[in-house]
Amino acid sequence: MAQFLLKRLLQVILVMFVISAFCFGIQDSLGDPTRELAAMSMSDEERENLKDTLGLNDPLLVQYGRFVGRAVQGDLGTSYFFKEPALTVILKKLPATLELAFAASIIIITISIPLGVFCAIRPRHWFAKFTMAVSVIGISIPVFLTALALIFIFSITLGWMPSFGRGEIVEVWGYWSTNFASWDGIVHIIMPAIALSSIMLPLFIRLVRAEMLEVLSSEYVKFARAKGMDSLTVYFKHALKNTMLPVITVGGVQIGIMVAYTILTESVFQWPGMGFMFLEAVNRSDIPLITAYIMFVGFLFVIVNTLVDLLYGLINPMVDLVSGK
Amino acid sequence: MALLTIKNLCIEFPGRHGTERAVDEVSFDLSPGEILGLVGESGAGKSTIGNGIVQLLSAPGRVSSGEIFLNNTKISTFSSKEIIKIRGSRVGFIFQDPMTSLNPLFTVENQLIETINKNLGIEDSKEASRIAVDLLDQVGIPEPEIRIKQFPHQFSGGMRQRVVIAIALAGDPELLIADEPTTALDVSVQDQILSLIRKLCRERQVGCLLVTHDMGVIASVTDRVAVMYRGKMVEIGKTAELLTSPKHEYTKSLISAVPRSSKKIERFPLVEYIETTAKGLKHIDVKTHWLGQGTRHENIQDLLEIKDLNLSFVTRDAFLKKNRKYLQATRDVNLTVKQGETFGLVGESGSGKSTIARMVAGLQKPDSGSIKFDGVELVDNPDPVAVKQARLQMQMVFQNPYSSLNSRMKVDDIIAEPIRFHRLAPPQEIRTIVGDLLDHVGLGRAAGLKYPHEFSGGQRQRISIARALASRPRLLICDEPTSALDVSVQAQILNLLKDLQDELGLTMLFISHDLPVIRQMCDRVAIMRHGRILETAESEDFFEHPQNEYSIELLGLMPRFDKIYEVEATV
């Protein structure tokens, strides 16, 4: 176990190093931040002074060295716009995004597993065929269109749902702001979560179905039947657990991607999360914030992957993380 | 009183191109404590009968007519709810491959106890786990209290099959259906599993339906045997009588096609019933033909010399070198193959015989040692041209004809590829040469326009052989070339290899776990275990007077025809 985690730590360092180099490389071509920061009437001399204080006139390698040195200490720079440490800005926006991704994951898991299993064990049933057909449509429609359609139908036409924002949020543990503590918050998160899950959900249904079909044709499922197990035990004990192995591998990564790319959903619903923040940061050429965001998301990916591997090892007895096989 | 009675059973598989009758009017019965063998080649419908009894046919198969009685209860008309009650509790099942018939994610205990709960109606978990441990003990698993907590992957193949048998017996069934229970196992393990099945059937008075394609298994364990051919039962009778004096033509030819372990014969008798080779093929004179011209017949003694060959695989990787664990695949292997002979490598799975073949063919690099082909060193030779020339003269025929041919290429292109790649013939002649090769291996040149999936296993192996011949090799490495084939097809392929060897003066390195086949094919043999060669001998000497203890044990375990009498005597 220790060996596994140590290996992972080395990987994290390598990945973060590559990402930081990449982020730093693109900084130059992102435009002059002083243009956004400075007042209209600022003279060139004043602007140069500002650049000096921000360290933008130093050689690139010096800037990079400074950047890495600070990043190691948890300082990813100060946002030009918010005038606050970039990491603090991101961490403030983090709960909104994580809760949105969490809600979407709940939707995906609770719907895709039963539907996928059903489509696998009753492939000729009309509902299975219907689900398969709809899932193709679901995959093909872009997220922002689904989001706009939801707003048009449920917020504008019917007036049932709020169309933007997080609604009433409650602070817990002094830091985390949650949607799940009030009815208003829950109502606000429903539509963004549906929109965010709309691409992944059909993918997962198809994935669960395909894996389940594969497992159902395996010898041990036949043997389980031959030793007298009833269909429910065969499907939900013997087959489902085996189906989940590849689903966890693919699914974990997909959910990681979902956290990272909430940008579209968040901007349509004006959701004050990391994605929305990133979009604004790009508009404002807020380079430290952009860099910090990319590095943070990279970090998140590695963490999610590690968690997925640990979970996989927990379910599959053939993977022995303890002895590092 | 019969335990199981089957009357005029028909099983059909409706398909897009009409209904296929897999089992056609089959009738037999089985008494308690009796072992009835169902023998036949692939597609004969023998497994289908076993699955049909407990309604485990894969869709869209169905029992179309006929009756099945279990202890005078008609079970062929049972609904799926009723049949579930029978499965496990009255009919136990053993499948072919113990590696896949246990669920990898649950402990042996879990899988045994759910069977006990359901079939014996015991809900008390202490009681159930006591029974489970007891069952494992009965099937010969040492330290059952500890092993029961383990997962299937922690057991060896033979041990897993014992677990499967324990699960099959957990419901205390009256009937046991064993579908090729030992086909995936090594000879020594096969012997143990067969005696175990036999012992349990006798002790518990369980009737057993043993489905197999292996005549040796039939001879050594069954009381009666039924021979299946294309869905029909052609003959049934007492094992000893049927094997010694078969009445039906098919049975006769099937039995004659089984390689004998007792004496060597020149050619295998063919089963004309099955696959006849295409007629009217062009005969080529090897002396004048392109095929015969590539081979230089210099009278060298040893074509292939292997010295101190070592290879180990990392089985457990670790950051520090001292923590890594290795599996020594081959250990100081020394052997020489003489020009023109067939050299057999025998051993159980994991003994390293295929690894040697792969190293000779250059598919695997040895850790140390030397491989010399016609005097040219192949390991770490600084002259790549010489190595390439030597490699050109050795070709390989693989075990599985289903996966060793590229399914997207036409047969013509598959065979022409080595000729084109090595520029062995002018481009305009390649087509003719490929056609001649196809004729020569008994397929006919028309076969060249088809794709591999249009051929049967035996035909595909002919394609593999033609492809191997296309570079005009002197050494043919055959890695279990007939293990995936039926007996009748095996006879044809082995004959073909013998013919080719005579005509072309080929030298063969022949790898097999099947001792009778080795006896028929090889001039000299080396027996391997745990990566070492234990004994090298003239083939006849080896079979008549084995020197090594392990060789004696292995030969003793080999299921064979002449063993029937011993069995009869002990019953």
CA B45 to each of CA A194, A236, B374, B484: distance values in angstroms, whole numbers, following the listed order:
52, 32, 49, 18
Pairwise CA distance, residues B518 & B289, whole Å = 31
Interface contact flag, A222 B151, Cβ < 8 Å: no
Pairwise CA distance, residues B178 & A139, whole Å = 46
pLDDT at A39 (0 to 100): 63
Q: State the smallest CA–CA distance between residue A38 and chain B in angstroms.
A: 54
* ipTM score: 0.74
Q: Which residues have a Cβ under 8 Å from the Cβ of B123 and sit 6 or more positions away? A: B117
Which of B85, B93, B100 comes nearest A227 by C-beta?
A: B93
Pairwise CA distance, residues A212 & A209, whole Å = 5
Q: Is B316 on the interface with A (CB under 8 A)?
A: yes
User: What would the pLDDT profile of A47-83 be if each residue is shown by its tens digit?
Assistant: 777 777 767 777 777 877 877 787 778 777 777 788 8
Interface contact flag, A219 B97, Cβ < 8 Å: yes
| B273 in Cβ contact with B227 (< 8 Å) | no
Q: Which amino acid is residue A202, in one-letter code?
A: P
> Tokens 């011949």, residue?
B469
Q: Is B183 on the interface with A (CB under 8 A)?
A: no
Spell out the SS3 assignment of B402-450: CCCCCCCCCHHHHHHHHHHHHCCCCHHHHHHHHHHHHHHCCCCHHHHHC
φ/ψ bin of B184: left (φ > 0), alpha (ψ from -120 to 50), beta (otherwise): alpha
Q: Is A145 on the interface with B (CB under 8 A)?
A: no
How is chain A split into domains, by residue range? 2-72, 88-315
Which of A222, A229, A230 comes nearest B56 by C-beta?
A: A222
Q: State the smallest CA–CA distance between residue A9 and chain B in angstroms.
A: 14
* Entry field: residues in chain A: 325
Residue B85: its chain A contacts at CB < 8 A? Answer: 228
> Tokens 């020339």, residue?
B389
Q: State the smallest CA–CA distance between residue B408 and chain A in angstroms.
A: 24
Question: Nearest-CA neighbor of B235 among B47, B413, B27?
Answer: B27
CA B148 to each of CA A117, B160, B189, B482: distance values in angstroms, whole numbers, following the listed order:
31, 11, 20, 37
| B319 in Cβ contact with B302 (< 8 Å) | no
Q: Is B97 on the interface with A (CB under 8 A)?
A: yes
Q: Is A239 on the interface with B (CB under 8 A)?
A: no
Q: Is B100 on the interface with A (CB under 8 A)?
A: yes
Torsion sign across C-alpha atoms B258, B260, B261, B267: negative
Which is it for strands B175-179 and B91-94: parallel, antiparallel or unpaired?
parallel
Alpha carbon A287 to chain centroid distance?
Answer: 22
pLDDT at B456 (0 to 100): 79
Q: Which residues have a Cβ under 8 Å from the Cβ of A261 and sit 6 or more positions away? A: A275
Which of B84, B106, B318 comes nearest A230 by C-beta?
A: B84
Homologous superfamily (CATH) of A88-315 is: MetI-like (1.10.3720.10)
Which of A225, A230, A316 comes nearest B105 by C-beta?
A: A316
User: What would the pLDDT profile of A284-301 be if each residue is shown by its tens digit?
Assistant: 877 788 888 888 888 888
Range A121-133 average pLDDT: 89
Residue B103: its chain A contacts at CB < 8 A? Answer: 220, 224, 238, 242
| B535 in Cβ contact with B547 (< 8 Å) | yes
Q: Which of residues 454-483 of B touch A (CB under 8 A)?
A: none
Pairwise CA distance, residues A249 & A309, whole Å = 8
Interface contact flag, B88 A229, Cβ < 8 Å: yes
Q: State the smallest CA–CA distance between residue A258 and chain B in angstroms.
A: 29
Interface contact flag, B88 A228, Cβ < 8 Å: yes
Q: How many Cβ contacts (< 8 angstroms) between chains A and B?
A: 84
Q: Is A22 on the interface with B (CB under 8 A)?
A: no
Q: Where are the beta strands (DSSP E) in chain A?
A: 170-172, 176-178
Angle in degrees, 0-180, between the axes of helices B457-469 and B411-422, rounded to the nearest 10: 20
Predicted TM-score (pTM) of the model is 0.76
DSSP reduced 3-state for B118: helix
Q: Is A11 on the interface with B (CB under 8 A)?
A: no
Q: Is B317 on the interface with A (CB under 8 A)?
A: yes
Pairwise CA distance, residues A22 & A299, whole Å = 14
Q: Does A316 have pLDDT greater than 50?
A: yes
Interface contact flag, A225 B87, Cβ < 8 Å: yes
Pairwise CA distance, residues B527 & B544, whole Å = 14
Pairwise CA distance, residues A63 & A60, whole Å = 5
| B46 in Cβ contact with B234 (< 8 Å) | no
> Tokens 């990566």, residue?
B531
Q: Is B319 on the interface with A (CB under 8 A)?
A: yes
pLDDT at B566 (0 to 100): 45
Q: Is A229 on the interface with B (CB under 8 A)?
A: yes
Which is it for strands B73-74 and B62-70: parallel, antiparallel or unpaired?
antiparallel
DSSP label at residue A78: B
Mutate which of B105, B107, B317 to disrupt the A interface (most A C-beta within 10 Å)? B105
Q: Is A317 on the interface with B (CB under 8 A)?
A: yes
Which of A219, A227, A233 comes nearest B167 by C-beta?
A: A227
| B204 in Cβ contact with B170 (< 8 Å) | no
pLDDT at A29 (0 to 100): 60
> Tokens 């089957």, residue?
B6
pLDDT at B35 (0 to 100): 92
Which of B101, B107, B115 comes nearest A228 by C-beta?
A: B115
- Give me B412's structure tokens: 């013509």
Interface contact flag, B84 A238, Cβ < 8 Å: no
Q: Residue B320's closest chain A neighbor by CA?
A: A3
Q: Which of residues 329-348 of B touch A (CB under 8 A)?
A: none
Q: Is A318 on the interface with B (CB under 8 A)?
A: yes
Q: Which helix (H) or strand (E) holds B8?
A: strand B4-15
Q: Tell me the sheet residues that pair with B524.
A: B343, B538
Interface contact flag, A324 B317, Cβ < 8 Å: yes
Q: State the smallest CA–CA distance between residue A228 and chain B in angstroms.
A: 4
Pairwise CA distance, residues B178 & B38, whole Å = 10
pLDDT at B275 (0 to 100): 46
Is the bond into B60 cis (omega within 30 degrees of 0)?
A: yes
Residue A219: its chain B contacts at CB < 8 A? Answer: 95, 97, 100-101
Which residues of chain B are under the pLDDT cut of 70?
1, 262-263, 266, 269-288, 292-300, 315-323, 559-571
Which of B95, B119, B170 comes nearest A223 by C-beta?
A: B95
* Entry field: residues in chain B: 571
DSSP one-letter string for B290-332 = HHHHS------SEEEEEEEEEEEEEEE--SSGGG-EEEEEEEE
Residue A245: its chain B contacts at CB < 8 A? Answer: 105
- Give me B491's structure tokens: 């006879």
Q: Is A198 on the interface with B (CB under 8 A)?
A: no
Name the percent of chain A lying above pLDDT 70: 91
Pairwise CA distance, residues B349 & B343, whole Å = 18
Residue A229: its chain B contacts at CB < 8 A? Answer: 84, 88, 114-115, 118
Q: Is B209 on the interface with A (CB under 8 A)?
A: no
Question: Nearest-CA neighbor of B108 among B73, B159, B65?
Answer: B159
Question: Nearest-CA neighbor of B436 among B425, B423, B422?
Answer: B425
Q: Is B120 on the interface with A (CB under 8 A)?
A: no
Q: Is A93 on the interface with B (CB under 8 A)?
A: no
Pairwise CA distance, residues A99 & A188, whole Å = 12
Q: Is B273 on the interface with A (CB under 8 A)?
A: no
Q: Is B155 on the interface with A (CB under 8 A)?
A: no
Q: Is A238 on the interface with B (CB under 8 A)?
A: yes
Q: State the smallest CA–CA distance between residue A109 and chain B in angstroms.
A: 21
Residue B302: CA atoms inside 13 Å, Cβ hemisphere, count?
A: 13
Q: Does A35 have pLDDT greater than 70?
A: no
